Amino acid sequence: MRVNICTINVGGGEGNRNMAMEVLSWVDVFIFVDNANREGGGWLEHEARGYELVSFVEGGNVEVYIKTSMVGWMEVEKHNAKGIVLRGKGMDEETVRIGGVYIRPGRDKEYMEEMLEGMEDFNVVVGDFNARNLVCGEKARDDTTNNYRRWPKRWMDTKEPEANETNRMTFRSTSVLDITLFKKGKSVRVNLNDRLALEHCGQIIRIDMKEPDRVMKRRVKWTKVDWKQMETDLKTINDDNENGWESLKKIVGDLRRVQYAGSNCG
């Protein structure tokens, strides 16, 4: 299944987070950076609009939500104040790691280097790096390189990831600060979305992932059950002493399930 993952800087606004879930309701996973916290750095409760909180770190800059219908698709491998790494399974059973990061303006070299080292084993890293650079911004005519860029460049030269090149500004129509990095030769398509009219565009990537076996099935839509057919099937099962239990599980498994609002799952 193709999973839509949106990473966006919401500028610390609770309303911005809620608006993203409503306007971009077709997104499966949200990685919110510069997220809204309550006073003291704790999690700020709000209306999740069909999504469940996956992970939050007190005083951190990144939080993740996933559609209620997809809880269990991704696990948290690590999460600290510098960022998060999510883990899931690709279609070929390979492990897929997706990192989400936010580098606040004014962080020193050691902070950025430590954060990047924590993202060493990844498929994709998405976030707001606050790093203007020619690699990512030249096509968008953002030809400025700030000091932050000198540090990621050395890391990139060592680890050899590739960076998404965009022909659009990602911040206030003035610069490219929001960047997607991916393994060399494993590029992903990145769509920039500005429908929320925030200072930052959302970065949306699509990853093909396999549904894990342990995911809880959605509720049966009982109003759509063919009860006459059900009665016939159950009579057949009663006559089959050897395979009755397996037959019953198949009947229940094939029943139509509830579709959650905005879900593209199944």
One pLDDT digit (tens) per residue for the chain, 266 residues: 889 999 999 988 878 888 999 999 999 999 999 888 777 667 777 777 788 888 888 878 899 999 988 888 889 998 887 789 999 988 888 888 898 888 887 776 677 777 777 666 778 888 887 776 656 656 666 666 665 545 556 666 776 777 777 777 788 877 777 778 887 777 788 888 888 889 889 999 999 998 887 555 566 777 778 888 888 887 777 666 566 677 777 777 777 765 543 333 33
Considering the domain architecture, whether residues 69 and 33 belong to the same structural domain is answered as yes
The strand pairing partners of 169, in sequence order, are none
Domain boundary at 208, 230, 246, which?
208
Do 22 and 100 lie in one domain? The reply is yes
Residues 22 and 39 in one domain: yes
* DSSP run (H or E) holding 100: strand 95-102
Q: Are 9 and 176 in contact (CB under 8 A)?
A: no
- If asked whether residues 169 and 241 sit together in one domain, one would say no
What is the model's pLDDT at position 122?
76
CATH of the domain at 149: 3.60.10.10
- Based on the domain organization, do 136 and 241 belong to the same domain? no
Q: How many domains does the chain have?
A: 2
Q: Are residues 6 and 135 in the same domain?
A: yes
Instruction: Determine the structural domain holding residue 265 and report its residue range.
Output: 217-266
**Within this chain, do residues 203 and 228 fall inside the same structural domain, yes or no?**
no
Give the pLDDT confidence score for residue 28 in this predicted structure.
Answer: 94
Same domain, 251 and 145: no
Interhelix angle 147-159/109-117, rounded to 10 degrees, is 30
Q: CA 165, 138, 154, 116: dihedral to nearest 10 degrees?
A: -40
Instruction: Determine whether 33 is exposed, middle or buried from the number of CB atoms within 10 Å of its CB (0-12, 13-18, 19+).
Output: buried
Cα angle value 86/4/157 (rounded, 5°): 55
- Copy the structure tokens of residue 146: 């700030």
Task: Let me know whether 247 and 172 are in one domain.
Answer: no
* Model pTM above 0.75: no
Burial class (CB in 10 A: 0-12, 13-18, 19+), 222: exposed
**pLDDT given for residue 29 in this prediction:** 95
C-beta separation of 18 from 41 below 8 A:
no
Domain match, 156 and 242 both: no
For residues 42 and 69, state if they share a domain: yes
Residue 193 shares a structural domain with residue 238: no
Q: Which of 167, 187, 208 is the last residue of a domain?
A: 208
Contact 21, 51 (CB under 8 A): yes
Q: Which pLDDT score, from 0 to 100, does residue 4 have?
A: 94
Picking from 208, 236, 253, the residue at the C-terminal end of a domain is 208
Longest dimension (CA), the chain: 76
Q: Could you write out the DSSP letters of every residue in 177-233?
A: -EEEEE-TT----EEEE-TT--SBPEEEEEEEBPPPTTSPPPPB-GGG--HHHHHHH
Q: At 43, phi and psi to the nearest 5?
A: -70, 135
Where b means 16+ CB within 10 Å and e means fewer, 8-32 reads bbbeeebebbbbbbeebbebbbbbb
